[in-house]
Amino acid sequence: QVQLQESGPGLVKPSETLSLTCTVSDYSISSGYYWGWIRQPPGKGLEWIGSIYHSGSTYYNPSLKSRVTISVDTSKNQFSLNLSSVTAADTAVYYCAREFRDCSGTRCRNWFGPWGQGTLVTVSS
């Protein structure tokens, strides 16, 4: 049963870079699938941040693209999120999840599961 676990600082100062890592257990990232980051501000809905394929191909939310970098380290079976120039609006629970995606032309079927337990990141001085 694949498991995902987020790790990283729970407090980040405004204008600095938020960095999180997701460690995957009982499944090799190199075997396939996409791997994604999703966040949820307190009391609000889900927002997709971006996803990465094991080969390193990335897809980002256009609204965050200028500040986001997602990378993968297959030797450690981990993938990471960097979000730069953070503000209080970036305060959220950050989840990592495995993403199944299959595209035929421009039509894609995709879904996320399983998800990590999530980690709260607060942006505050």
Partner 1 sequence: SYDLTQPPSVSVSPGQTASITCSGDKLGDKYASWYQQKPGQSPVLVIYQDDKRPSGIPERFSGSNSGNTATLTISGTQAMDEADYYCQAWDSSTVVFGGGTKLTVL
Residues of this chain that interact with partner 1 (CB under 8 A) are 36, 38, 45-48, 51, 59, 61-63, 95, 99-101, 106-118
Task: Give 104 or 125: the residue with its C-beta nearer to partner 1.
Answer: 104
- The least distance separating partner 1 from the CB of residue 3, rounded to whole angstroms, comes to 11
- The least distance separating partner 1 from the CB of residue 112, rounded to whole angstroms, comes to 7
Q: What single string gives the DSSP state of each residue in 29-67? A: GGGS-EEEEEEE-TTS--EEEEEEETTS-EEE-TTTGGG
Q: What single string gives the DSSP state of each residue in 63-110? A: TTGGGEEEEEETTTTEEEEEE-S--GGG-EEEEEEEEEEEEETTEEEE
- The least distance separating partner 1 from the CB of residue 15, rounded to whole angstroms, comes to 26
Task: Give 39 or 86: the residue with its C-beta nearer to partner 1.
Answer: 39
Task: Give 16 or 48: the residue with its C-beta nearer to partner 1.
Answer: 48
